[in-house]
Structure 1
């Protein structure tokens, strides 16, 4: 039982760390220098998602403390904790079409992306190709028309593309899911071990309280 509680405590700490990481990362990702995240933030409120998800993880850790220190005979809180973990594991996110996001993006963000990555427009540097902000690197229309569109950068699977960013976000979320699942299983084991201890205690009391050999 002692080893099981050590494992359980470690997983519970991991859940707390995941909550803190969610909140800190969501704040870092929404800084002005995160251009690709800036492009997506009108559709995804990363700060709200990260803080909300992180807060639910931390709340789970807070709930776990009275649950684990409660008496063996009273395991309602441990069972409530497992239901809470099931709820956490059910949280999901969605992805959207980036061309539509590009057209809704403020011109200052478009210009910053075009300047930093030497690209013009979304598909290409023409009006039909999504060139909305003809400024900075893309001021000259003839030069802009000869440049590649920013779509490749935005949707790239390598840094700092959205596929790369979202892939890392989802991979991290899946990692959190593994922590939640492991803590769920560890809590089930704790409940089972406590049930066994309570059952033997009652048997021992019926036999006079002398204990088992």
Structure 2
């Protein structure tokens, strides 16, 4: 039982760490200095996702303390903890899948996002990544801002579009960013699942202890050989 409690405590701390990581990431993602992330945030509110997941994870770890410290004869709090973990698993799966589904439609989604951006934002992206327009440097390819790097029309027409840079699988591209985000979120499911199983084992061990205690009491309280 002692080893099981240590494993259970480790998983509880892991869930706490995941909660803190979610909240810290939400704060970092709210900073405006990441161009691609700023585009993604027009469709996905990472601040809400991070704070929502982080606060529910931390709430679960705090509730786990009185649950594990409760009387061996009663496992109600541990059962309630497992129901809470089921809610956390469902919420985590929903958010992770939402980000994943968005990542599957990046090219079309970002064209709409690109088209809705101001000239300042488009120029900043074009200057930073040395590209013009979205698909290419023509008006039909999404070039609406002929400033900075793309001031010259003839020069811009011969440049590659910014879509490949925006949706790149290399940092800081959206594919790289989104893959890391939803992979991390899905990774939290492993912690939640293991914590659920560990709690089930603790409940089972407590039931066994209570059962043998009652049998011992019926035998006169002498204990088992």
Matches within 5 A, 1:16-165: 16-91=16-91, 92-93=94-95, 94=98, 95=102, 96=105, 97-165=109-177
Deviation of 1:30 after TM superposition, in Å, equals: 2.5
Unaligned runs of 5+ in 2: none
For residues 98-152 of structure 1, give each alpha carbon's deviation from its aligned partner in whole angstroms, at most 9, with x where no partner exists.
2122222343332221111111111011221112332222222222222111110
Unaligned runs of 5+ in 1: none
Contact 1:39–1:109 at 8 Å: present in 2 too?
A: no
For residues 141-176 of structure 1, give each alpha carbon's deviation from its aligned partner in whole angstroms, at most 9, with x where no partner exists.
222222111110111111111111110011111211
Contact 1:42–1:105 at 8 Å: present in 2 too?
A: no
User: Over aligned residue pairs, what C-alpha RMSD do you find?
Assistant: 1.3
Deviation of 1:73 after TM superposition, in Å, equals: 1.7
SS in 1 for 2:4: helix
Matched residues in 1 for 2:179 and 2:144: separation? 28
Matched residues in 1 for 2:45 and 2:145: separation? 24
Matched residues in 2 for 1:193 and 1:107: separation? 64
Q: TM-score, normalised to structure 1's length? A: 0.95
For residues 27-84 of structure 1, give each alpha carbon's deviation from its aligned partner in whole angstroms, at most 9, with x where no partner exists.
2122122111001111111111111111111111111111111111221111111111
Q: TM-score, normalised to structure 2's length? A: 0.90
Matches within 5 A, 1:179-198: 179-198=191-210
Contact 1:124–1:131 at 8 Å: present in 2 too?
A: yes
Report the CA distance shift for 1:198/1:3 in structure 2 as closer, same or farther (over 3 A): same
Question: After the TM superposition, which of the residue ranges 146-155 and 89-98 deviates more from structure 2?
Answer: 89-98
Q: How many residues align?
A: 213
Matched residues in 2 for 1:108 and 1:146: separation? 22
Matched residues in 1 for 2:13 and 2:214: separation? 33
